[in-house]
Amino acid sequence: MKCSFNKSDILNGINIVSKAVPVRTTMTILECILITADQERICLTANDMELGIETEVTGFVETPGCLAIDAKLFSEIIRKLPESLVTIDADEDDHVEIRCEKSVFHISGKDGVEFPALPQISKDRSISLSQFTLKEMIRQTIFSIAQSDSNKMMNGECLEVQGDHVRLTSLDGHRISLRSVMLGQAFQDEKVIIPGKTLSEVSKILTGDQDSEVSLYFTSNTVLFAFDQTIVVSRLVEGEYFRIDQMMTTDYEIKLQVSKKEMLECLERSLLLVRENDKKPLILDIRDDEMNLSMNSSIGALQESIPIQKKGPDLMIAFNPRFMLDALRVIDEETVTLYMINSKAPCFIRDEEGSYIYLILPVNFSTAR
């Protein structure tokens, strides 16, 4: 195999597929990036058997073939080369020469035939939406997935399609994030659980262009994302997702509106007094047209007040400030609306249309002392 690329093109391709190279594996071939070149196109592929990424790279093919190169070494070599034409030449014994101007590397490759192919996905079940929309939906929900591996359901996000609406939901046992949007047309109903890692990596690759589409194709255990010159294939999380709608009550006793900027800045200040593993909550004392926020920790104390517009009785309630901060950071409106029932019931942050809903469980006051 022999082919040539502009350094920027091959490096961009490496950066895209490297997201599917496993950190640890007993199969050394999976530590590689596969280069497949024929007269029509050149593709780079990485596959950790749970997540696979393939992207097409612009280049010139002199001799078709396929070759696997250690991903870390390949990436580091290309990154250090000058901004010029890069030529990769491999013989029948998989000895590889990488040449760029006066720099020449000789390394060992592996037979590309050994590399596990990405699964073939039927295109019968699919939806399409803009890259901007999907990237935003992921950004506004991904922070609520569980960080431990104790519950696979909480490590993923539930994607539901009903007609011309799509909804993405995540939860970690302390909060729920929900984002729904209207699609440009009606599609077949779907309900799948996509690993959080997959969505996170897809979000990094998406350009976020409003005019560029991404298509999702589904099977019983796999999802494929197709956009630009890239495909991402991932296993789905098996099982029945939590019954989110039963938790999303519309009942409330208190409705308050507050400046997102003011509350966000107060939350950020409160976290200055919280060590990484500290459980100290932020207490909200909601009275008339003012919300008093207070924090007491081993480092110090904070008291602050924010003007609000409130309907309903006064209330004192406490939250993990990080959970509240995560939600506010991804809301684009200048004013946010909070709905509460009492100090033991969840707080809902949502807009009038229900396009986003954030449920946050309160914490016990005793931990504030």
Q: Given this model, what pLDDT does residue 64 score?
A: 96
Q: What is the pLDDT of residues 72-119, one digit of tens each?
A: 999 999 999 999 999 999 999 999 999 999 999 999 999 999 999 999
Q: What backbone phi and psi angles, to 5 degrees, belong to 238?
A: -85, 145
pLDDT score of 364 more than 60: yes
Q: What backbone phi and psi angles, to 5 degrees, belong to 234?
A: -140, 145
- Helices marked H in the chain: 7-17, 71-80, 131-139, 196-205, 260-270, 321-329
List all residues 6 or more positions away from 11 whose beta carbon is below 8 Å from its beta carbon. Answer: 78, 79
Q: Given this model, what pLDDT does residue 275 score?
A: 84
How far is residue 254's CA from residue 147's CA, in Å, rounded to a whole number? 32
Band the pLDDT of 369: cuts 50, 70, 90: very low
Q: What is the pLDDT of residues 195-205, one digit of tens each?
A: 999 999 999 99
- Report how far apart, in Å, the C-alpha atoms of 209 and of each of 129, 139, 170, 205, 206 are: 11, 15, 24, 11, 8
Concatenate the DSSP letters of all residues of 147-197 into one string: SSSS-GGGGEEEEEEEEEEEEEEEE-SSEEEEEEEEEEEEEEEEEEEEEHH
Q: Which residue reads 């593993």 in tokens? A: 277
Q: What backbone phi and psi angles, to 5 degrees, belong to 8?
A: -60, -35
For the chain, how big is the Rg over CA atoms in Å?
Answer: 25
> CA dihedral defined by 16, 17, 23, 24, rounded to 10 degrees?
170
Band the pLDDT of 366: cuts 50, 70, 90: low
Q: What is the pLDDT of residues 56-82, one digit of tens each?
A: 999 999 999 999 999 999 999 999 999
Q: What is the pLDDT of residues 45-55, one digit of tens each?
A: 999 999 999 99
Tokens linked to 335: 């004013």
Q: Given this model, what pLDDT does residue 264 score?
A: 97
How far is residue 361's CA from residue 219's CA, in Å, rounded to a whole number? 35
Q: What is the pLDDT of residues 214-251, one digit of tens each?
A: 999 999 999 999 999 999 999 999 999 999 988 888 89
CA proximity to 143, closest of 181, 166, 169: 169
End-to-end CA distance of the chain: 68
Q: What is the pLDDT of residues 129-187, one digit of tens each?
A: 999 999 999 999 999 999 877 788 999 999 999 999 999 999 999 999 999 999 989 99
Q: What percent of the chain has pLDDT over 70?
A: 99
- Report how far apart, in Å, the C-alpha atoms of 114 and of each of 1, 50, 145 are: 16, 17, 35
Per the prediction, the chain carries an average pLDDT of: 94
Mean per-residue pLDDT for 10-36?
96
Length, in residues, of the chain: 369
Q: What is the pLDDT of residues 314-343, one digit of tens each?
A: 999 999 999 999 999 999 999 999 999 999
How far is residue 41's CA from residue 57's CA, in Å, rounded to a whole number? 7
Q: Which residue reads 């596969």 in tokens? A: 34
Q: Given this model, what pLDDT does residue 246 score?
A: 87
Domains of the chain (ranges plus CATH)?
Answer: 2-114 (3.10.150.10), 126-246 (3.10.150.10), 254-368 (3.10.150.10)
Q: What percent of the chain has pLDDT over 90?
A: 89
Q: Given this model, what pLDDT does residue 279 score?
A: 78
How far is residue 229's CA from residue 206's CA, in Å, rounded to a whole number? 11
Amino acid occupying residue 128: S
Higher-scoring residue by pLDDT: 179, 277: 179
